[in-house]
Chain A
């Protein structure tokens, strides 16, 4: 095995970022014209496109719920999104991520407004440089808002982690591979409501507390960019930095 390379040199990360610095966020509004509402969301190279269809009649029919609309989220990584080609289609990993993303989005949608219908959210990861489920959620919440689906709030998501013993914001691919901890968080940040939380790697409870507060700051930043993008829904590409 190779000697482990340093991920932080002189308080800077390998891509030149500070410890608490997020990669550049890019948002594109309605890139998919056939969809009711769609959005592209980027954290640096990590690139997600989300598109929604519906509310429309639930199919198959036996799934119809007389009281609620059912939300169906499908997250998928495209074969060319990773260094080594990933097998097309739905993996066990994407089934789990679809489930937790679906749960987070369900929390903010007034599903009771559209009984007997379903709302589809399709999320494709075009390029994966870590934090893909966060980009997926951010794109999906914008897409739902643009589709006019009534929402209690927008879900904002970012990752935090621990690399070389330091707590950092927004994990990139090489940091995910060689770092100690990766933690994805989605919140309604100003209310401190956590809707998604998945962590792996070893931390103390004090380190975790620091991580979750940093995640809140990150989510607030994402939240502002999502809000700006939705407001400017009729201009095309905007860069927020």
Chain B
């Protein structure tokens, strides 16, 4: 509690515990293709937050309402090693929210051309399984998980498929990735808005709003979280911030 008050007072007086500006991210480090056996993979570090994302492809039946489209499945797990407050067991509401929020940005941005992942309409399509593993927690999981996912998808290769069998050891095509959705989550303490909180800042925050933008600066997904509120004008400010910061973060992915 006293820790929270310290962080709150600091933010309200215009400062942060690590001297960053309110719109400044910690250092971001991304490595891709770290797992040979996964078709796509990445490890992302934002400060001390660390997330590994693996992409595995398999062949399955399409959904009846989208007979000519591949299937996207996002799952997230919080390793109990990542924080004393994470517990072992099936994903809790926080892990489920993280997976569904990332799923929404990937899906709604149409960044994967799912129609190109159809093998035989109504019968066989590629399933893209994205697994997000939080291995160390120091705040800002949504932004990190989404960037890690985009990085992993960008390097995903499609395995060879012959005679009804997937040959995982040989890969031929790239995943058709046509956009780069980026979440920037804006946190609020009092009337101050800031990004990329550490664990202490995240615990002290009243509320958060995650805004995913795409290449042309449009918004493709929003999720508000926490028990606090945002006023409409604060939301408008948050959107401006996330468009500008999102554009800068997106440059990390353009080689």
Q: Is the CB of B229 within 8 A of A95?
A: no
Interfacial chain B residues near A191, Cβ < 8 Å:
231
CA distance A216 to B230 in the complex (A): 13
CA distance A204 to B94 in the complex (A): 29
Q: Is the CB of B214 within 8 A of A99?
A: no
Known: A103-B225, A197-B209, A197-B224. A192 touches B219 (CB 8 A): no
Q: Does any Cβ of B come within 8 Å of A194's Cβ?
A: yes
Q: Does any Cβ of A come within 8 Å of B232's Cβ?
A: yes
Separation in Å of the A121 CB from the closest CB of chain B? 14
Q: Is the CB of B223 within 8 A of A198?
A: yes
Q: Using a CB-CB cutoff of 8 Å, which residues 178-228 of chain B contact chain A?
A: 209, 214, 217-228
Q: Is the CB of A99 within 8 A of B97?
A: yes
A197 CB contact (under 8 Å) in B108, B223, B233, B236: B223
Q: Does any Cβ of A come within 8 Å of B93's Cβ?
A: yes
Q: Does any Cβ of B come within 8 Å of A6's Cβ?
A: no
Interfacial chain A residues near B107, Cβ < 8 Å:
200
Interfacial chain B residues near A202, Cβ < 8 Å:
108-109, 214, 218-220
Q: Does any Cβ of B come within 8 Å of A231's Cβ?
A: no
Q: Does any Cβ of A come within 8 Å of B166's Cβ?
A: no
Interfacial chain A residues near B224, Cβ < 8 Å:
100, 194-198
Interfacial chain A residues near B30, Cβ < 8 Å:
none
How many residues on the B side are at the interface (Cβ–Cβ under 8 A)?
35
A203 CB contact (under 8 Å) in B219, B223, B231: B219
B108 CB contact (under 8 Å) in A104, A192, A200, A204: A200
Q: Does any Cβ of B come within 8 Å of A92's Cβ?
A: yes
Interfacial chain B residues near A103, Cβ < 8 Å:
225-227
CA distance A191 to B108 in the complex (A): 31
Interfacial chain A residues near B108, Cβ < 8 Å:
200-202
Q: Is the CB of B227 within 8 A of A107?
A: yes
Q: What residue in chain B is nearest A111 (Cβ atoms)?
A: B227
Known: A194-B229, A205-B240. A98 touches B93 (CB 8 A): yes
Q: Does any Cβ of A come within 8 Å of B100's Cβ?
A: yes
* Extra 20 A-B pairs, beta carbons < 8 Å, given A200-B104, A202-B220, A203-B218: A99-B94, A99-B97, A100-B97, A100-B225, A103-B227, A192-B231, A194-B229, A197-B223, A197-B224, A197-B230, A199-B223, A200-B220, A201-B220, A202-B108, A202-B109, A204-B218, A205-B236, A205-B240, A208-B239, A216-B232
A residues in contact (CB < 8 Å) with B: 1, 92-93, 95-96, 98-100, 103-104, 106-107, 183, 188, 191-205, 208-209, 212-213, 216
Query: Can you list 12 A-B contacts with CB-CB less than 8 angstroms, sorted by A residue number?
Result: A92-B96, A99-B93, A100-B97, A103-B227, A192-B231, A195-B229, A197-B222, A197-B224, A198-B222, A202-B108, A202-B214, A202-B220
